[in-house]
């Protein structure tokens, strides 16, 4: 009640989140209304529609409460390891939905006037700054090449006091070990003295691909980072201490030294992935690989959020509704994460038995042929086909999320951005 502002919103809040977690094929408002209130579907549809599309409650306050409830459950199994920076998208359809760069459409969709366009790098940095100011438990920042190749973002992350493992492209230039730019020219005594670093034909940085191809065989090691569904996941890696070279001729000092991690799977003609990392110089090789590969979890999160919880099922056009739906999906997913141990098959013996949820047999969807009969049954020569009401899995025994890998952790240890 404290975060949604009014007692009348408690019931639709509960029903909407319950609908997101129930095993219906699509998590838009109408199917969820039929699942959560089959005896009064039309009224429930209007209630949920108003709550998510027009409700004047704060996304920030709800997410704050979710964080307050879920974070301690995650930390109960170990400290936060990473802040994973990533984005996801939703296909835009029609000419009236949010997300278009047109002032008239933005106004009709209810986009606030103070919301301006920002690049995804700017959005990511804003979220990182907010997380630092909020005092959230810190972890290493993990970025794919879509973010990590932006050298300014990497610099800004370091300025926040965070370490990172950032994916980069193969043409990113660095100074190999034992090399570097030339110091500034000695002042001749005339004009303004220069402090900028220099390059010449003999002092040039190299691409990370060129550096990787020149490494000796002894530099490569096969390292496993986690158990997969069928076998242990492993690959070949090499690591080298380097300095980033981008536009350092405009600097008076070289960029600080950091790790370059390279992956070259067996059977591939050349290395496939590259990362720069500010993790400590004395970090163990396998630990560096482990931290780097933690990014896979965000891909699984998005898959479960979209497929299991319905993040991608929103059908409205308004700014408020879109953000409310995303907030409630995060709330539902946070609840499932915190309750993972009580959901089969994680703890099949101790799971409390929940009452089986089912749509009553008397319920008929709108437009169903099975709901119409002639006034006198003897005139029903051929009955309309019955709705398929074959038994589904018992909801109490249907896991909404994959069980956690016990060899890694009993619950997840990450914060997503």
Of 39-43, 99-103, 382-386, 408-412, the poorest mean pLDDT is in 408-412
Contact (Cβ atoms closer than 8 angstroms) between residue 201 and residue 180: no
Does residue 297 or residue 396 have the better pLDDT? 297
> Long-range contacts of range 332-336, CB-CB < 8 Å, 24 or more positions apart?
332/17, 332/20, 332/21, 333/301, 333/304, 333/305, 333/309, 334/66, 334/67, 334/69, 334/70, 335/17, 335/21, 335/66, 335/70, 336/21, 336/309, 336/400, 336/401
pLDDT (0 to 100) of residue 91: 75
Whether 256 is in a domain gets the answer: yes
pLDDT tens digit sequence for 181-202: 878 777 766 777 777 777 777 7
| Number of domains comprising the chain | 1
Whether 238 is in a domain gets the answer: yes
pLDDT over 70 (residue 209)? yes
For 328, phi then psi, to 5°, come to: -70, -30
Does residue 386 or residue 91 have the better pLDDT? 91
Whether 245 is in a domain gets the answer: yes
Tell me the pLDDT band of 54, cut-offs 50, 70 and 90: very high
| Dihedral sign from CA coordinates of 190, 192, 193, 198 | negative
pLDDT over 50 (residue 395)? no
Of 69-78, 355-364, 387-396, the poorest mean pLDDT is in 387-396
State the DSSP H helix or E strand holding residue 260, giving kind and residue range, or none if neither: strand 257-263
pLDDT (0 to 100) of residue 343: 64
For 224, phi then psi, to 5°, come to: -95, 145
Whether 373 is in a domain gets the answer: no
Average pLDDT score over the chain? 82
Tell me the pLDDT band of 408, cut-offs 50, 70 and 90: very low
pLDDT tens digit sequence for 26-40: 899 999 999 999 999
pLDDT (0 to 100) of residue 406: 36
pLDDT (0 to 100) of residue 402: 39
Whether 217 is in a domain gets the answer: yes
Whether 216 is in a domain gets the answer: yes
pLDDT (0 to 100) of residue 364: 56
pLDDT over 50 (residue 50)? yes
pLDDT tens digit sequence for 71-130: 998 898 899 999 999 998 887 777 776 666 778 888 888 889 888 889 999 999 999 999
Q: How far apart are CA 373 and CA 386, in angstroms?
A: 12
pLDDT (0 to 100) of residue 15: 96
CA-angle at 172, arms to 166 and 178, nearest 5°: 95
pLDDT (0 to 100) of residue 100: 61
Q: What is the pTM of this model?
A: 0.77
Q: How far apart are CA 266 and CA 97, in angstroms?
A: 46
pLDDT over 90 (residue 283)? yes
Give the Cβ contact number of residue 180 at 10 Å.
Answer: 18
Contact (Cβ atoms closer than 8 angstroms) between residue 415 and residue 81: no
Query: What percent of the chain has a predicted confidence (pLDDT) above 70?
Result: 79
For 344, phi then psi, to 5°, come to: -55, 145
Does residue 382 or residue 161 have the better pLDDT? 161
Tell me the pLDDT band of 397, cut-offs 50, 70 and 90: very low
Tell me the pLDDT band of 211, cut-offs 50, 70 and 90: very high
Instruction: Tell me the mean pLDDT in the region 196-224.
Output: 90
Whether 234 is in a domain gets the answer: yes
Domain that residue 176 falls in: 159-180+201-294
pLDDT (0 to 100) of residue 339: 83
Instruction: Tell me the mean pLDDT in the region 379-400.
Output: 40
pLDDT over 60 (residue 140)? yes
pLDDT (0 to 100) of residue 219: 97
pLDDT (0 to 100) of residue 413: 39
Whether 259 is in a domain gets the answer: yes
pLDDT (0 to 100) of residue 324: 96
pLDDT tens digit sequence for 158-167: 999 999 999 9
Instruction: Tell me the mean pLDDT in the region 389-399.
Output: 38
pLDDT over 60 (residue 347)? no
pLDDT over 70 (residue 172)? yes
């Amino acid at each position: 009640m404290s975060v949604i502002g009014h007692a009348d919103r408690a019931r639709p809040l509960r029903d909407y989140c319950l609908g997101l977690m129930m095993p219906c094929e699509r998590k838009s408002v109408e199917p969820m209304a039929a699942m959560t209130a089959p005896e009064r579907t039309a009224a429930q549809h209007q209630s949920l529609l108003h709550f998510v599309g027009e409700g004047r409650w704060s996304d920030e306050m709800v997410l704050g409460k979710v964080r307050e409830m879920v974070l301690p459950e995650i930390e109960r199994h170990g400290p936060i390891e990473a802040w994973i920076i990533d984005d996801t998208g939703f296909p835009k359809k029609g000419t009236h939905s949010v997300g278009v760069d047109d002032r008239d459409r933005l106004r009709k969709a209810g986009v606030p006037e103070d919301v301006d366009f920002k690049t995804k790098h700017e959005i990511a940095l804003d979220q990182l700054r907010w997380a630092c100011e909020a005092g959230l438990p810190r972890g290493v920042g993990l970025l794919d090449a879509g973010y990590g190749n932006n050298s300014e973002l990497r610099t800004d992350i370091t300025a926040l006091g965070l370490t990172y493992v950032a994916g980069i492209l193969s043409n990113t230039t660095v100074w190999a070990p034992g090399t570097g730019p030339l110091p500034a020219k000695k002042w001749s005594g005339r004009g303004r003295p220069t402090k900028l670093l220099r390059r010449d034909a003999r002092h040039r940085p190299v691409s990370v691909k060129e550096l990787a191809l020149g490494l000796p065989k002894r530099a490569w090691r096969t390292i496993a980072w986690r158990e997969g569904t069928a076998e242990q996941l492993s690959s070949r890696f090499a690591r080298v201490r380097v300095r980033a070279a981008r536009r350092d001729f405009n600097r008076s000092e070289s960029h600080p030294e950091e790790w370059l991690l390279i992956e070259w799977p067996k059977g591939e003609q050349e290395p496939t992935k590259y990362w720069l990392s500010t993790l400590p110089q004395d970090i163990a090789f396998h630990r560096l690989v482990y931290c780097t590969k933690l990014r896979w979890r965000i891909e699984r999160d998005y898959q479960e959020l979209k497929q299991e919880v319905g993040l991608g099922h929103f059908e409205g056009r308004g700014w408020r509704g879109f953000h409310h739906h995303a907030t409630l999906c995060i709330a539902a997913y946070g609840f499932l994460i915190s309750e993972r141990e009580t959901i089969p098959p994680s703890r099949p013996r101790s799971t409390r038995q929940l009452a089986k949820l089912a749509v009553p047999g008397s319920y008929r969807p709108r437009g169903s042929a099975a709901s119409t009969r002639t006034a006198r049954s003897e005139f029903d020569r051929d009955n309309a086909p019955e709705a398929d009401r074959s038994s589904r899995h018992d909801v109490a025994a249907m896991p909404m999320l994959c069980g956690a890998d016990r060899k890694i952790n009993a619950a997840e240890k990450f914060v997503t951005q």
